[in-house]
Every structure is written in structure tokens, then in C-alpha cells.
Amino acid sequence: MRIGIDARLNAYRQGGIAQYTRQLLAALAAEARSETFVALQHHSQRRPLVIAPNVERATLFTPPHNRFEAWSLPVELLPRRLALLHCPDFIAPRRRPCPAVVTVHDLAFLHFPEILDAEARRFYGQVHAAVHDADAVITVSEATRADIVKLLDLPPERIDVVYEAADPRFAPLNLAAGEQRIINGQVLTAGGFLLFVSTVEPRKNLETLLRALRICRDRRPRAGYRLVVAGSRGWLDEPIYALVGTLGLGEVVHFLGAVDPEDLPWLYSACRIYLNPSLYEGFGLPALEALACGAPSIVADTSSLPEVVGDAAYLLPPQDVGAWAERIASLWDDETTRAELVQRGPQHAATFSWRRAAQETLAIYRRVAGRAALGEHGR
């Protein structure tokens, strides 16, 4: 079976959907050596996304999210002789030469419509039609499946949950006490900082951490609390940066900006506590990466995050500033509990794997292909 994986977005992005596409394709190729996977890459991405004997690279000229792709993409797909097309970026062309599977990662754009510009609104505005037209719909958490049922009116039995996993490079590092590393010009000391990893935008709720940090410092000025923020600037981020100044935290909050992927395992392993107060996540991969590295973690009890962290992290209401301040302060000083979480996190993270994701995704492909062979629609 020739299975096409739409990887055009990987020419423009590295994280999120692009990372999901690359990890899944690599795992699929290793798991199903008798199948042929066609990596549908944009011509501007010259390197193969995955190198394996059963992965072909196909060059396409239609950019992702292009307003004309509903017409141009099917034309480019026709000579590829695909038995099935998987679109990890929500939308499959409605006029297509084969059955299609789509992955819906989250519906943040419906909960927070202000995050979309006009072009993004046009593209993601197709999602209702896309899920109803697809031959199968994959999502990455039970929370997002519930969202799809509620917001897109799709029956739950038409949605398959396939969990993501952390990249294998996320694992505990054996760091020396007080080990230092310079990241983006900032000198960081292992065990001496709180860590937040995400784009800086309202949905990620950094404001709660800033206000909690102010309380912690007011109560114990000499405790040494510092917060490291690893992530690029996002939409509506000016009030967040302004709040740092308003709270007088400029000297103890360090914005690293986007960091090299090779630095992330060190940050997770070196932090004293990892913090994720996000208001909404489709999966919440940084939380799983943190656990995989053994970071003692506190995360919000919303959307998919409880699914992802299980009992390997503390869960708190995302906007209860007092609760965050109390938990940060207690865990900062509790070496015994931190040591327990350091052990528990990797064990829990290991229950998620890309091999399992590939196996479950292959089962969906084969189900869809079997229906197509019988002349049945996948719905």
C-alpha cells in the first residue's frame, strides 16, 4: 500500500504539527516495512524528512494553507498513485484521488478565535467540513475528542485517539551539582530555577506564574526563586512582558526566546521545577518532555494535561494564583518529594511511545483502505 503523508508544513515549521509528522513518519517506516510511505514535501525543503528504504520523497509545489490548494493539491497528488492520504494538518482536499485521514490536534482556534489572522481563519474555518468529509479522524487526546464532538458535531465513534510521545532524546541527564550552561547568552545553574517552556501568548497563562512568583518572593525574599522562560514571542504578548515590570520581577525572570532543540533536555533536567499553567492544550507535549527528563512538575488541571501527566505531576487550577504560589514554595524546599517525582516522571512518560502511535495509526489506515476496497465510504 502506498500511503501519502502530507509533510508540506515541515518546510516552514519545526515544532508542533511538523514534529508530529516527522516522528510519526519515522515510526511508521520502522513499524511497517512492507508498506511504502510517500513523504509529500514542499519543494523548498530540499532534504528528505525521513530516510528509510520504504519512504519515498515526493516534491510538491502547492504551499501549505494556500488558498488554491483545494484545486492544485489534488492535481499534484494524482500521479503519486496513493492508496491513502494522511493530512496531519487538519484539512484534506475534498476532491482527492484516494481516501483521506486527518489529524485534529486541538481546537484552540475555536476557544480563542482572536489567535487567528484572516488567512488562518480562512484555512481553519474549513475544519468542520474537513472532519465530516474525512474517511477517518485522528486526535491526540480524549479531551480533544470531546471538543470535536461538542464543537464540530462529529459522533465520538468516528474519532480515534492516538497519543503522541516525547522524542527519545528527552531523558534524564546526569548533571553535576551546580552545573552551569550558557543558553542564548544567559548563564543558568542546575537546580536553581523554575522553568516554563512555550510560546509567550495569553493561552499559555504565564501571568499566573508571574503573580505566583511575586507572592513567593515577597514571603521568602532569600529563597532564590528565579523563572526561566524558554519560547518565542507569540500573539498579544506585550501585556505579559509589561506585567514582569509591573511586578518588579525584571531581575529574576529570564526570557531566553526560542532555544536550540539540543538545549531543551538540559533545561528540563536542570530545572528545580517545571511549570505548565496553560489554559488549554490539545496534548501538551512539553509537559511530557519534562516528565521524560525527570523534571518535578506542576501543571494545570485543564483540557488534556491530566491525561498526559497522570499521577506523575501536581495538578492545579490554572488561574488560582495562591495555589500555584503555595505549591511552588513547598516543592522548592521539599527535596524528598522532588526526588520521588524525578523517578516517577520518566516511568510515566515511557507509557507513551511513537511505536505504539505508529501501530495504532497503521490500524486506522488499514481499516480505511479495507473499506475503500469494498467500495464503502469511510464514514
Domain 180-349 has CATH 3.40.50.11600: no
Measured distance CA(372)–CA(379) in Å, rounded: 11
For the chain, the domains span: 2-164+354-373, 180-349
Instruction: Give the model's pLDDT for residue 377.
Output: 55
SS in 3 state form for 273-319? EEEECCCCCCCCHHHHHHHHCCCCEEEECCCCHHHHHCCCCEEECCC
Instruction: Give the model's pLDDT for residue 151.
Output: 98
Instruction: Report yes or no: 99 and 372 within 8 Å, Cβ to Cβ.
Output: yes
Where do we find the cell 487567528? Answer: 116
Provide the β-strand partners of residue 42. Answer: 60
Global pTM reads 0.93
| φ/ψ of residue 359, rounded to 5 | -60, -45
Instruction: Give the model's pLDDT for residue 122.
Output: 93
Q: Tens place of pLDDT for every residue, the chain, 379 residues?
A: 999 999 999 999 888 899 999 999 999 999 999 999 999 999 999 999 999 999 999 999 999 999 999 999 999 999 999 999 999 999 999 999 999 999 999 999 999 988 888 888 999 999 999 999 999 999 999 999 999 999 999 999 999 999 999 999 999 999 998 899 999 999 999 999 999 999 999 999 999 999 999 999 999 999 999 999 999 988 888 999 999 999 999 999 999 999 999 999 999 999 999 999 999 999 999 999 999 999 999 999 999 999 999 999 999 999 999 999 999 999 999 999 999 999 999 999 999 999 999 999 999 999 999 998 888 654 5
Instruction: Give the model's pLDDT for residue 115.
Output: 81
Instruction: Report yes or no: 149 and 247 within 8 Å, Cβ to Cβ.
Output: no
Measured distance CA(160)–CA(139) in Å, rounded: 6
β strands within the chain, DSSP E = 2-6, 36-42, 55-60, 84-87, 100-104, 136-139, 159-161, 180-183, 186-189, 194-197, 227-230, 253-257, 273-276, 297-300, 314-316
Measured distance CA(256)–CA(230) in Å, rounded: 5
Measured distance CA(89)–CA(41) in Å, rounded: 13
Measured distance CA(295)–CA(290) in Å, rounded: 5
| φ/ψ of residue 300, rounded to 5 | -70, 145
Instruction: Give the model's pLDDT for residue 13.
Output: 86
Q: In what order do the strands lie in the sheet with 194-197?
A: 253-257, 227-230, 194-197, 273-276, 297-300, 314-316
Identify the CATH assignment for 2-164+354-373 out of 1.10.1040.50, 3.40.50.2000, 3.30.930.10, 3.40.50.300: 3.40.50.2000
